[in-house]
Structure formats: C-alpha cells, structure tokens
Amino acid sequence: MTKLLVRNTSVICLLLSLSLHGIFSEAAKKGKETVILISMDGMGWQYISGQFADTPNLDAVGRNGVRAKYTINVVPTITWPTHHSYVTGLYPESHGIVSNSFWDPVYKENFIYDYDCSNYDPKFYNASEPIWLTLQKQGGRSGVYFWPGSSGYREKPTYYEKPICLVNCSAIDPKDLPKYRKKTRKTWPSYIHCLPNYTEPFTSRLDKVIKWLKSDKPPQFVAVYIDHPDWEGHEYGPQSKEYKAAIEKVDREVVGYLTDRLREERLLESVNLIFVSDHSFNNISPSHRIYLDDFLEQTAYMMTESGAMGHLWPKDGKLEEIFANLTKEPNPHMKVYKKKDIPKSYHWKHNRRIPPIFIEPAVGWSIGQSRGNSNATWVYGSHGWPPEESHSYPIFFARGPAFKKNLEVQPFSILDLYPLMCHLLGIAPQPNNGSLENVVSMLNLDAVTPLMDL
C-alpha cells in the first residue's frame, strides 16, 4: 500500500509539472487510445529476430516501440486458454476455458474448441467478460477477427467475421452433439461444425480490419487472430524449414503488411499495435511417448486431452485405482497429480472443469492412449507443458503513441496486458489477475495520465 501511495504521489507530481507545460497529447487528455492486438499462433520467442527465422518487420516494431525477449503465459500453454487470458486478464481456472477441450461435470457435456458447436455455446463462456465486450458496455466499439473463443458470446463485437457453419448449432440439442462428432476428415480438424475461414489470405483479412478502422464509426479496440505458424510448428516441428518459412511469411504478410497499410492510410502513428503469440514449441518424438494402455483399462476413464498433458476423468469409483496404477512404478518422465495436489503456482486447479487426474509428462514427452490409435509421425512439434519448464513462451512487440521507443522490457505475465489495454482504452477493467504496475514503465508519460482515475 505504501509503495502504491508513493508511486501515485510521484506520478501526480510529475503530471502536475507536465500539465503546466501543456504537453499532454490529445489522446491522453481523453484517456482513450486505439488498441490493435494481433496474435500469431505458435510464434515462438526463441525462433524469431534472426535466432532461427528472420523477422525484420517485428524487429522494426520493436525499434519503433517496446519489446520483451518473451512473456510468461499461463498453464496450459495452449491456444484457447491463452487467448482467453489475453482478453480477460484471468488465469484459466478463473475464466473457465481451462483447455482446448474439457468436460464440464455440471453440464455433463464436452467442450471442444474452434470447430465444434460447443465452442459457439455461450454457457461455456459465462464466467468472464472479454475486453471487447466491456468496452462496448462502456460505450465503445470493437472489432474481432477470428479471436479464439470470441464467437462463444451471445453479444457480438461491433465488427467481426462470422465462421463458416456446416451444421446449424443452435438447432441441435447439446446432449445430441456426440452424434454429430463423427470423424469425416483425414486432416485436422477431424470434423467441422463451424470454423473460421482460415483459407482467407492474411492480407485480405487485414484489409477488412483497415476498412473497419477507416469507417465512420471506427472501433477503438481490434483483436486479430492469425492461425500460423502454429500449423507448421505442429506438422513439421520447430526446427523445420516449413516452420521457419511460416514465421517469415507471417512477419511479412501480417506484421509488414499491416504496418504498411496503416502507414498508407495515415493511421500508423495514431494507433497502438500490440503483436503477441500464445506459445512456442518443443520437439516430441515417437520414442518419447507414454501410452496409457500400459497402465489402465480404457473403460475405466475418459480422456479429454492428450499430448503434452493428460486429462483423465475416472469412471465412478475408479479414481484411486487409476491413480495407483499410474503411480505404482514411478515413471521418471511423467508426474501424476490428483486435482487437489496440482501445484498452486499453476493457477489451474480451482475449477470444476479441471480433471480429477492430471498427468504432466516431462518436457519433450507426450501422452497417448493406445499405440493403435496414435499417429506419432504427425506430432513433431508440441506445446502445453507449464511455461517455466518448457520455455514455451510467447512474443511481445508493441508500438504506437502510447508506447516508448526502442525499449526492451523484462519478461512479464501476459495477464498484465489486460489492465494495460483497459487503461489505454480508458475503460474500467473487470476483476483480473494482471497488474498495470508491472508494465506501466513501457508507456509514455502522457499515456499514463489516466492513472489518476484508478
């Protein structure tokens, strides 16, 4: 508390002296800035900026703004929970999207991300309110392009892209959904109910975003999700030429193209661009795979996640037996937790959707159910292990009127970006696990002005 008072006092003194000189920007006086958040799925911090691939456009953003070597993501380091943490500032145990796929024991239904009707069912998203919705409730406008989970909300962003639906989810009783999950495709996803049009070129997606920004009623907040280089990272592994090429393509056609287009439209100096990702990659191989068939009868449990984690829901009365079978001969390459023993530091425990048994394989090891079903040749890159162990960290680059120039900041939690974005938008945040204080040093002093209102 004392520290906070001291800081606020010093900020106020500084602000008073600055205001005497009349050097506040117009935007800061109003406490409102435009924020564009762009996530590039699977863009790993240790593979960019000439470390593996060349990313001259991201590097230029860093020189013209702020960068971090990496940021700290949440457990588990996978797409849906992480993206929901960015827009809520909450750990997954609090926002409720605890994994890409999970079981809800109250609804007695499975949630499956992206392509399944359950992903478009608002009841799975009722524990939190994303920033774009908070902004709209406080009188602002937002634009959302494919951001994971955004279609799950009944109230839509002011501007958004609809997914392509092959079935009418609202006409299906959720209890009947298992019947609609027949695997009809050879590649991911194994079936499709609804899916964003991921075949649309990056540049045409960004052209639509520019159109929103150039409209009579532009959004103050835009969230854009780019589904690469994740695909290549999985399919070919993070040391592959395909992953390298995908990173360089995203750098060119997303970061470079967007900054060029904003410059052409004379918007570049008036918007705040924040480029992030959700996770990096580690290699896995068939020789580092653990099969649950070696320990358990398949009929004794349901498995809702595999790969870099194992989420197990024992059938009634089977929990102790399953735990005993998994642990009687300790495997040095996996830890097995009952829910109550999951480390507190994971912030992934206090939610009914977290499984009764959590298997955490060692980094580079993965969990499968049976040898027969597993297609180990497909999986060369993976993610999901806790961030501090796997170093599967995201990237961070930001530029714009609110950000200092050519500044590298220490790694920080991705949750801190939520209060920072609310601050720039001039809106009251929802309760969250982030801290503006951790990241405020990356902002220009005039952008700090609204701190007085906090």
Positions touching Zn ion (CB under 5 A) are 41, 79, 230, 278
Please say which residue, 39 or 413, places its beta carbon nearer to Zn ion: 39
CB of 274 to Zn ion, least distance (A): 17
User: Which residue from 219, 220, 236 is spatially nearest to 228, judged by alpha carbons?
Assistant: 236
Nearer to Zn ion, 129 or 278 (CB): 278
Handedness of CA 158, 160, 166, 167 (dihedral sign): negative
Q: Which amino acid is at 224?
A: V
Tokens found for residue 295: 């320990």
| Burial of 95: CB neighbours in 10 Å, binned 0-12, 13-18, 19+ | buried
Min CB(163)–Zn ion separation in Å = 17
In sequence order, which residues have a C-beta less than 8 Å from that of residue 68 and are 6 or more positions away?
A: 395, 396, 408, 409, 410, 411, 412
Q: How many CA atoms lie less than 13 Å away from 248 in the CB half-sphere?
A: 11
Question: Is the CB of 301 or the CB of 396 nearer to Zn ion?
Answer: 396
Strands 221-226 and 142-145: parallel
Compare residues 230 and 416 and give the one whose CB is closer to Zn ion: 230
Residues 6+ apart with CB under 8 A from 215: none
Minimum distance, C-beta of residue 177 to Zn ion, in the bound complex (Å): 24
Residue 148 Cβ vs Zn ion, minimum distance, rounded to whole Å? 8
Tokens 């860093």 correspond to: 62
Q: Which residues contact 40 (CB under 8 A, 6 or more apart)?
A: 226, 228, 229, 250, 254, 275, 276, 277, 395
Work out how close the CB of 233 gets to Zn ion at its nearest, in angstroms, rounded to a whole number: 9
Closest-approach residue to Zn ion (CB)? 79
Query: Nearer Cβ to Zn ion, position 87 or 425?
Result: 87
Number of C-beta neighbours around residue 416 at 10 A: 22
Q: Which is nearer to Zn ion, 100 or 272 (CB)?
A: 100
Q: What one-letter code names the amino acid at 383?
A: H
Element holding 165 (H helix, E strand): strand 164-165
User: What is the closest distance, in whole angstroms, from the C-beta atom of residue 82 to Zn ion in the complex?
Assistant: 7
Min CB(334)–Zn ion separation in Å? 23
Q: How far is the CB of 401 from Zn ion (least distance, A)?
A: 30
Using the minimum distance from each CB to Zn ion, give the nearer residue, 161 or 278: 278
CB of 42 to Zn ion, least distance (A): 5
- Token pair 């409730």 is found at 137
Q: What is the DSSP letter of 443?
A: B
Amino acid sitting at position 420: L
Backbone angles phi, psi at 112, to 5 degrees: -130, 130
Residue number, 79 or 118, with CB nearest to Zn ion? 79
Residue closer to Zn ion by CB (options 80, 295) is 80
* Adjacent-strand bridge partners of 272: 35
